[in-house]
Amino acid sequence: MKHSVAAASLALQITSALAQQLLPVQIRAPTVAHFEAIVGNDTFDFGCRPVAHPTEDGQYKLHALLTRDQINYLANEYREDDSIEIRETKVTKRAASAPIGSGDRFSSGATAPLGLGTKASGTTIASILNVNEIGSAVTGLANKFPGAFFKYNLPNKSFQGRTSVAFYTGAGSDVSEYHLYLSAGMHARERGGPDNVIYWVSDLLEANRTGVGLKYGSKSYTNAQVKSILNAGVVIFPLVNPDGVVYDQSSGSLWRKNRNTKSGSSGSSIGVDINRNFDFLWNFRKYYTASAAPASTSPSSEAFYGTAPESEAETKNHVSVYSKFPKIRWFMDVHSAAGDILYSWGDDDNQSTNPAMNFLNSTYDGKRGGVGDNTYREYISSTDLTAAKRVGDATAAAMRGVGGRSYTSIQAVGLYPTSGASDDYAFSRYWSKPGVNKVYGYTMEFGYSTNFYPTLTEFNQNILDTNAGFMDWALTAISVGLE
């Protein structure tokens, strides 16, 4: 039986996904090895990363968003292979997805947002923030908490000329006192990410002002815990990819990348995947085994890595935060949708016995990314691994504790490697850039696989889940250490 797509077929460039509706698909197989060739096809859309989940009957399922042509192509490739099943999932969630806000509910900053943690149980938020409202919400918080909340413009304008804003709060004006960094909105279609971080910070500030605690579903936190998080210093880059989010919110096209047209001016050839553009093993053709597909060199791919590491304004802005706040120790990048908390490394399996086997050692160029083998495994000290896993486990447990959703904490490589990702870049800086602080990097994947457009109920549940996750992530990080 055939378990892989023919090599010639892997190069097939299928009609742009923008020209056809993307349909949720579940591919089932008895082992993860059956998915290897499918995942290697960079015309297919697997969301943030390919995730193969075990099923109750002992198989595995891989979620994807495919066009009708792509579904028919796979069905034809595997028509004689009974071990692989390709089925469309009957999902109606996009048709009833949470609405995008119209106008400006914060009146250019005259009012400030308030999250769910300081409101009565059962309170809901009626719509997702539009791009203008994200900026207005930040201004509103700055106006409501003068001297305690600081916003600033990031140095690089987006391809379409937008200015991005970051903010910091809790530890005063001394930037050397800030240790926690969160970003969101890197992938345009992952709706609700900026809302999650903004509503969380608004809850922290309001609870601190009024002397109360916070409650997210079944998870409760004291005012003392709120104060300890603020005292650790919180930095937020709430909307990394403004051009992409504007386009996605106006088109409903499940747009992922930014809107840079330098590598392609139409359809899916537009844009770079910002989360494959960071300076960590970016040139994967050099660093990874030929069988690995951690990113793509094709502009039409959802995982297109760009023209150089940090080629994109959005990536440069993200990196600039580390220079402004030199004592950042813990980083969280907020994404959807897989239901996981990811910790380093993402390029290969971890190992703690051979320090020489590391991402800077050219001896191993061309050998990385073969997950599950012993040819290469990325070094992480046992101390760092214990710390990273402890914080990741606490975050996932908090998210599960809100209302019973399933969240897991796993190493970022999972079953398939990545390159140029924000979490690995954060962790790698300590070894690749002399004199910088060590940063533990995480990715939070809220929600369910391929459900990028949540219903209104799901959107509100995502806020509760992520905000509890942020609380325990920060509190556990503080207990592990900020210096």
Question: What is the spatial distance between Cα 81 and Cα 349, in angstroms, rounded to a whole number?
Answer: 30
The helix (H) or strand (E) run that includes residue 245 is helix 242-251
Going by C-alpha positions, the residue among 32, 33, 36, 55 that lies closest to residue 44 is 36
Question: What is the spatial distance between Cα 245 and Cα 256, in angstroms, rounded to a whole number?
Answer: 8
Partners of residue 29 on adjacent β-strands: 60
Q: Beta-carbon neighbour count of residue 249 at 10 Å?
A: 18
C-alpha dihedral, 172 to 176 to 179 to 183, nearest 10° = 80
* Type of residue at 239: L
Catalytic annotation present for 445: yes
What is residue 102's DSSP assignment? -
Say which of 190, 310, 312, 445 is annotated catalytic.
445
Question: What is the spatial distance between Cα 375 and Cα 364, in angstroms, rounded to a whole number?
Answer: 9
Q: Which residues of 21-31 are buried (b: 16+ CB within 10 A; e: fewer)?
A: ebbbbbbbbee
Structure tokens at 356: 């020489």
Note whether 415 and 294 are within 8 A (CB).
no
Q: Beta-carbon neighbour count of residue 2 at 10 Å?
A: 13
The helix (H) or strand (E) run that includes residue 52 is strand 52-54
Q: Which residues are catalytic?
A: 445
